[in-house]
Chains A and B, each alone.
Chain A
Amino acid sequence: MMMKRKILDSCLAPLRMLWANPVVVRDLRAQMRGTKSYWFQGAYLLLLGILAISGYAQATGQSLADLHRGYGTAGPVSIVEAQGKLEGFYYFIFLTLAALIALIAPALTAGSVIGERQRQSLDLLITTPLTAGELLIGKMLSSIAFLGLLLCLSLPASALCVLLGGATISDVFRIYVLLAVDGIVLAAIGLFFSCASRTSLLALVWTYLTVVAVIYGTGMLYIGFNGGEVIQVSAVSPLVSITALNPFVAVLPPAQMSWTMGMVSVPVWVGTAVVAALLLRLLVTAATYRLGAHGGESGPSLRRQALLLSGLGMFFTVYSILTAVPDNSSRLIGISINAEVTAFGLLAAFLAATPFLPGLFVPVSAEDAPPGASEQNAAGDGALYRLGRAFRPEHAGALPYFHLLTLVLTAAALIAFRVVNGVLPFAASPGVPASPVGLILSATFHISGLGFCFWAISRFAAGVMPGVTQARSLAFGSFVLLCALPILVLSLTSRGYLWHNEPAAMLWLLYPFVNASESRGPVFVSMLLCGLQAFTWGFAFMLAQIRWHRSAAVAAA
């Protein structure tokens, strides 16, 4: 009986965190008290109303009253023309809503925890039995409640689109789900910086910089995949689910479609919701980690989640490259951009996955280890290069092995697909090399080489620097130098934007990403060369760290 009750309690605990969270009650009480909240909602409605009416007039050249009569001052309108104009109005309404979400959602949380810290009330909260997770989820929920209110208030404006025929109810439903999901992720970014920053201004600046980077990165990725030459024939690529984290992309048609993987067809919004849930969990765990006061306990979970997310990111990136074929006829938006933009989009996805390397896999001795594990971590530095640790959430060198495993599995799955179906899941078309197996293997080699290289830099930094902050700074600095410095040097020594056509550009570790158009030989050759180079760098750093470790041991003896 007791056992059953315990199990029931542990199952209900996460739910209780949602419905009986004292932080939510307290925050909402303070937020909704008085008239300021009503004034804000009134102003928001007024703004949306003005935008809706002026947007309608702008898009159609008519007032709302004219539409009922079927024609306006400009005379009768054909159905095709009217449809085009209503589509313009639809985009205007939803892009405005996306912009409002992108602006408001991060601000709702960016001041929450740092506000408590500056008000000197955080310590009072930490010394209660509330867990850091409950505290942060509470903060998130009170912001989300407000965000939900704002979305509900915008329904009259978007209902106009349904009423006038620019969109169906299911379209609007999907867009609202995506916008809500995006708003939550953006709010979680704000929450993380609210925990990690020292002042509220810094929290706000970092939050908005990150939000801009996310919107830019996902936007580039979206344009790369849907506006470039490389595009899916019948459905969108799985990466659209990631790009739909961008509220501006969420309102565009591809976000209303589905992608297929093998036999499975997944609506984009479902994929986005899953990615967002994983990201939300990662961000809240990272925020717990930075909250202080035994935050180190969440370190292992953070590493586990980072491993999972970066592995998934890599897998979908590789899968999307390999399954994409050029097909200009099914381009989803009317911008023609060459394959290099696509490659930059992929680069953005790769870069999004790699900051975990210097940030989370720098081994430290005691500072952020959970209680009892510090001695184990302190002693273990010499024994970190073990494949067996690949799935253990430690400050060990698990990541390159994890990537290697993921990529080998990807390659194996694709080869199996070929054996079973007789073809690979992409067609031989212009721009795609004749040997797809070669491309799979070389891409696997290149990306795992990069993972290994950055991991080795992180380990080296941890070995030579006394503190974890300095180690992370050195690792991240070296990472940025290796990725960005060659661009600077090459663009100074060549003709500006054509720097990647220089022969010396082949020495840049990320060169294959800009060589998608094969301006300098087949992509797989450059992938192999750069992969080899990355592995060489990685081994050099690894040897340097081992040497350093040995000499430090000798000095200590």
Chain B
Amino acid sequence: MLEVNNLRKTYGALVAVEGISLQLGPGDIFGFIGPNGAGKTSTIKMISTLLRPTSGTATIDGIDVVRYPREVRSLIGYMPDAFGVYDDIKVWEYLDFFAAAYRQSRTERTETVDRVLELTDLTEKRDTFVQGLSRGMQQRLCLAKCLVHDPKVLLLDEPASGLDPRARIAIKELIARLGGMGKTIIVSSHILPELSDFCNRIGIMERSKLLIEGDVETIIRQLQPTRQLLITPLGGVSAAGAIRAALELREDVERATIENGDDGTLRVAFTGGNTEQALLLRALIEDGHQISSFTEAAMDLEDVFMRVTTGRVH
């Protein structure tokens, strides 16, 4: 659906985007994470035909964004990170205007406006003036505007920035629902938890480079080939020392360290799978160790992000 090949943008000596490549299929929700100034917006703008790439190509449904911008524009819905609304215009008129811009007839437009208002839960606000909407609703209205022509690809630049928690949840649910409808979605954010819930693929960008890209599971597996087990014994550090000695004799344990000096929690790098993990627990209990907690430490996006990035920006 969306294919980006070695996309690059420079402004004089400044490199804004350095050779990005990615491929997304229908229904993919791609989380684009990176600090401010990493080059996310430039990348999204190049894909949405607003910025001409210095080199490289991007195609949507096989259509090149530089050579056929007009054709591409009818396939994408773009929502910028900051956008303004018009004064003295009502919600339905705003959507009607964009539907007309997509060359829909008067009757088509009436249906479209009703459809997107319902999808974005704005039906009640149909006759409200746009400037009177809350920030969260304006954000949803902008998303509604992106949907008037039922695009295959949605490019959403920081869609949840500046929203209160409730509005944030609403927009996240909406994006997840759109992904469920088979649309390819790129969502950028500099805040990780915003994306972790509903993205099935992520890309981490820093200093104009895409550092890592792929589905969440694979990335975590790449960064952390072993499972991380957290074992808390009953009896504090001394009990933990005994468990560690026992663990270090096993082949499927790479290393075991006492992570928490107070309750003696051990972090264990474990190479086995689920079965081996169950056997390990049974062995420890059969050996007479008293264990109050035995869990697998799941690596989240935050850990991935901290592991991959250096914290430097342009």
Residues of A bordering B, CB below 8 Å:
20, 22, 25-26, 29-30, 33-34, 118-121, 123-131, 293-294, 371-372, 467
Contacts and interface: CB of A to CB of B under 8 A. Distances in A.
Interface residues of B, number: 33
A121 B97 contact: no
Contacts of A293: 49-52, 69
Given A33-B88, A128-B73, A372 B78 contact: no
A26 B78 contact: no
A131 B69 CA distance: 10
A118 B84 CA distance: 8
Contact of B97 (A22, A33, A131): A22
A136 to B, nearest CB: 14
A121 B97 CA distance: 13
Interface stretch (B29-37, B98-106, B236-244): B98-106
B307 interface: no
Is chain A's binding surface mostly helix, strand, loop or mixed? Answer: loop
B82 A120 contact: yes
A29 B92 CA distance: 13
Given A127-B73, A129-B74, A371-B67, A119 B86 contact: yes
Interface of B: 12, 45, 48-52, 66-67, 69-70, 73-74, 76, 78, 80, 82-89, 93, 97-98, 100-103, 142, 145
Contacts of B48: 127
19 contacts: A22-B101, A26-B89, A26-B97, A29-B89, A30-B87, A30-B89, A118-B84, A119-B84, A119-B86, A123-B45, A124-B78, A125-B101, A127-B73, A128-B101, A293-B49, A293-B69, A294-B49, A294-B52, A371-B66
A123 B67 contact: no
Contacts of A371: 66-67
A440 B126 CA distance: 70
Contacts, number: 75
Q: Could you say which of B48, B52, B70, B82 has the most chain A C-beta atoms within 10 Å of its C-beta?
A: B52
A354 to B, nearest CB: 30
Nearest to B45: A123
B88 A26 contact: no
A22 B66 CA distance: 25
Is chain B's binding surface mostly helix, strand, loop or mixed? Answer: loop
A129 B82 contact: no
B85 A127 contact: no
B40 to A, nearest CB: 15
B86 A26 contact: yes
A335 B12 CA distance: 56
- Give the 3 A-B CB pairs with smallest separation, nearest first: A119-B84, A22-B100, A128-B101
B88 A127 contact: no
Contacts of B51: 293
Given A119-B86, A129-B103, A293-B50, A29 B66 contact: no
Q: Could you say which of B69, B76, B142 has the most chain A C-beta atoms within 10 Å of its C-beta?
A: B69
Contacts of B87: 30
Nearest to B86: A30
A25 B103 contact: no
B89 A124 contact: no
Nearest to A26: B97
Contacts of B85: 119, 121
Given A30-B86, A124-B142, A371-B67, 16 more contacts: A26-B97, A33-B88, A118-B84, A119-B84, A120-B83, A121-B83, A121-B84, A121-B86, A129-B70, A129-B74, A129-B101, A293-B52, A293-B69, A294-B69, A371-B66, A372-B67
A30 B45 CA distance: 29
A30 B88 contact: yes
Contacts of A33: 88
A467 B74 CA distance: 34
A30 B93 CA distance: 10
Contacts of A118: 84
A130 to B, nearest CB: 5
Q: Could you say which of B48, B74, B84 has the most chain A C-beta atoms within 10 Å of its C-beta?
A: B84
A339 to B, nearest CB: 51
Contact of A124 (B52, B80, B102): B80
Contact of B70 (A26, A121, A124, A131): A131
Contacts of B103: 129
A127 B49 contact: yes
A123 B78 contact: yes
Nearest to B155: A127
Nearest to B145: A124
B159 to A, nearest CB: 14
A143 to B, nearest CB: 16
Contacts of A20: 100
Nearest to B70: A129
B73 A123 contact: no
Contacts of B49: 126-127, 293-294
